[in-house]
Structure 1
Amino acid sequence: MTDSRELDLPAGYVELLEDLKATVKAARTTALRTINTQLIELYWTIGQGVRLQQEQQGWGSGVIKKLSEDLRREFPEMKGLSPRNIQYMTTFAGAWQGGPIAQQAVAQLPWGHVTVLLDKVDTQEKRNSYAAAAVQYGWSRNVLLNMIMNRTLERTGAAPSNFAQQLVAQDTELAQQIAKDPYNFEFLGLSGEVAERELELALTSRITETLRELGPGFAFVGRQVHFDVDGDDYYVDMLFFHMDQNRFNCTKGLRRLGEHFALAA
C-alpha cells in the first residue's frame, strides 16, 4: 500500500487534515461530556426521589437497601446502584437545589468528583466554587482533592463566577477522566470493560511474561475479581497472590477498588 506521505499533497491538505482531526476530537469530547451530564442528572433524579420519600414517608436504610437490590436486579450492569451510592445521590440532590442540575458546573464533573465535594467541602457555596474551578481548569479528582485540602480557593479568593458558561477542555485531565469513568460505561451498559479490554486480553494472553515482569513469588488468581464491601461492588482488573509476602496484590481497574493496590491476606 502506498504511504500517503510519499504522495504530492495538494495545497490545503495538511491544514484540512489538522482541522478535521481537531473536529473529531472536539465531537468526541462533546459526546462524552453529554453522556456524563446525563448520568449526573440521573443520579440527581434518583436522589431527589429518595429524599422526598425520606421526608414524607420516613424511609430508612432498609428501604434504600431494598431499592438498591431491585434496581440492580433490573440493571445488573450498573454497579453505581449500591445502597451507599444511592445515599450519595440523596445527599447530592439535597445539596444542589438551585435550578436545573444540568445547567450547573457540577453536572460536567465525573461522579467521583461529586462525591469528593460532598465528603470534603462543608458549605454549598464552597462546593459550587470548587466545582466551577474544576471545570474551568480541568482538574482531575486528585487535584481537586488537593485543592480542597489546601483550602486554595479560600486563601486566594479565585473562585470563577462564570461556571455556567464553561466547558470541559478536551486536552485536560478532567476530560480524560470523563472518557474513562466506569460509571459512564456502566450507565451505557458496557460494564466498564470495553476501555481496558485490549490491555487485559494482552496481559492474560501473555501471563508468563506478565508474572516475570512483576517479579518472583507471584501467582495469578484471576481477572475482574469481584469484592463486596459493605454492599458496594468492587472489581479488580487482575488479582495476584505473592507467596513470600502472603498477601494479595492487584492492578487497579476501571471499576475502582478504592486507592489500594495491595490487600493483606
Structure 2
Amino acid sequence: MADLFNAGSDYDQFLRNLKERIRTAHVRAALAVNRELVALYWQIGQEILARQQQQGWGAKVIERLAKDLRKEFPEMRGFSPRNLKYMRAFAEAYPDEQMVQQAAAQIPWFHNCVLLDKVKDPEERLWYIQKTLEYGWSRNVLVLQVESGLYQRQGGAITNFEQVLPPAQSDLVQQIIKDPYHFDFLGLGEERSERILERGLIDHIRDFLMELGVGFAFLGSQYPIEVSGKEYRLDLLFYHVKLHCYVVIDLKMGEFEPEFSGKMNFYVAAVDNLLRSPKDEPTIGIVLCKSKDKTTVEYALQGIQKPIGVATFQLERELPDPLKGILPTAEQLEVELNAAVVEVQPETEESED
C-alpha cells in the first residue's frame, strides 16, 4: 500500500487515463447498441412494408403485431403500434440499407422519428443527420433547428467570401452565416433602436448564441478599438473557435445602405491589425440589417478586399404562406378585443348593481 500512495501524481494520471478509456468505451458501446437497434427497426419496417404490398395486409396488422411482440418480449420497449408505424415509415423513407447504416443509424432512433415527422425532403433530412452528428444535437435542439428552417437559412447571406478568401475557407465561412436570423425570442415592444436591439441580444445571450450557431464565443459589446488616437466601438465582437477567426457584427435597424460596407471594411481591417495574431485566420465582418436589396449589397461589396457578409434578421417569426391571409393580424385582434370589452361592459355594471 505504501508503494501505491507514494506513486502520487503517477497514480492520479493513471486513474484519469483509465477513466477516460472507460468513458470512451462506454460511449462506443452505446453507439453500437443504437446502430443495432436502428438497423433492427429498419428491418422490421421493411418486412411490414413488403407484406402489406405483396400480400395486401391492412393497417390492422400493426395492432396485432404490436400485441404479439410485446407478449413475447415484455422486457423490451419500442413495440407499440405507434413505434411500429414509425418503423414502416422509416423503411419507406430509406429504401437503401447502406444509407441507413452510414447515416440514419448513426443518430438515436427518436431523432430519426423527429426527422420523419418534420422533414419530407431526403436531401434535407440527410443534412440534418450530418449536422446532428457534427454538433451532437439533442432531440430538443434538433426540433428547434428544424422548426426554425435552418436548412433553408444556412449560407443564404450575400457575401464577397468567394472573391477574397481561398476556396476551401470561403465555403466554410459562407456556411456559418444564415439569412434571415430569427430574433423572436427578444419580444421587443414598439420602441426599437439599434441600441435596444443590441441590449436585448446581450440579455438573451444564450438564445443569441444558439441562433448564431456552433462555434461563436462572445467577446463583448461596444468593444473599443483605438485607431490613431481615436476610439471606435464595435457593436458585437466574437471569436469563432472552429474557423479560428474574429467575427465583427454591426447591427442596423433599417435597410442596408452602401456606406455600411465601408464602415465594416474599416472595422475588419482594424481588428486584423490590432487583435489578430499570426495564428488567426482573416477577420470576418457581418452586417445584420432589417432588410436588404440584393443588387445594392452586391455593388457595395465589389472591390472590398476584406471578407464581409450581409444578412437580415426578423424580430417576429413570419407565418407560413398557407396561413397568411387566414389568421387575423395583431391590429384585427385588437379591434375584436376592444369590441368584446364594449359588449360585456353593461352586463358587468348591472351585475355589480
- So what's the TM-score if we normalise by structure 2? 0.41
Matching residue of 2:48: 50
In structure 2, what residue type is equivalent to 1:77?
E
Aligned 1:205-220 pairs, distance under 5 A: none
In structure 2, what residue type is equivalent to 1:110?
P
In structure 1, what residue type is equivalent to 2:150?
T
Matching residue of 2:124: 126
SS in 1 for 2:129: helix
Question: Higher Cα Rg: structure 1 or 2?
Answer: 2
Aligned 1:242-257 pairs, distance under 5 A: none
Aligned 1:42-191 pairs, distance under 5 A: 42-101=40-99, 103-157=101-155
Matching residue of 1:216: none
Q: How much does 1:102 deviate?
A: 5.2
Q: How much does 1:11 deviate?
A: 6.0
**Aligned-partner Cα distance in 2 for 1:70–1:56:** 22
In structure 1, what residue type is equivalent to 2:93?
A
Pairwise CA RMSD: 2.5
Matching residue of 2:37: 39
Matching residue of 1:247: none
Q: Give the total of aligned pairs.
A: 157
Structure with more relative contact order (C-alpha pairs < 8 Å, separation 6 or more):
1
Q: How much does 1:10 deviate?
A: 5.0
In structure 2, which of residues 10, 28, 48 is the aligned counterpart of residue 12 of structure 1?
10
SS in 1 for 2:6: coil
Q: How much does 1:157 deviate?
A: 4.3
Q: Does the 8 A contact of 1:36 with 1:110 survive in 2?
A: yes
Identity across matched positions, percent: 44
- So what's the TM-score if we normalise by structure 1? 0.54
Q: How much does 1:73 deviate?
A: 1.2
Q: Deviations over 1:78-110 (max 9, x none)?
A: 231111111110000111123425532221222
Q: Does the 8 A contact of 1:47 with 1:90 survive in 2?
A: yes
Matching residue of 1:236: none
**Aligned-partner Cα distance in 2 for 1:74–1:145:** 34
Q: How much does 1:115 deviate?
A: 0.7
Q: Does the 8 A contact of 2:45 with 2:89 survive in 1?
A: yes
In structure 2, what residue type is equivalent to 1:47?
G
Matching residue of 2:216: none
Q: Deviations over 1:201-242 (max 9, x none)?
A: xxxxxxxxxxxxxxxxxxxxxxxxxxxxxxxxxxxxxxxxxx
**Aligned-partner Cα distance in 2 for 1:126–1:137:** 16
SS in 2 for 1:80: coil
**Aligned-partner Cα distance in 2 for 1:38–1:110:** 11
Q: Does the 8 A contact of 1:106 with 1:132 survive in 2?
A: no
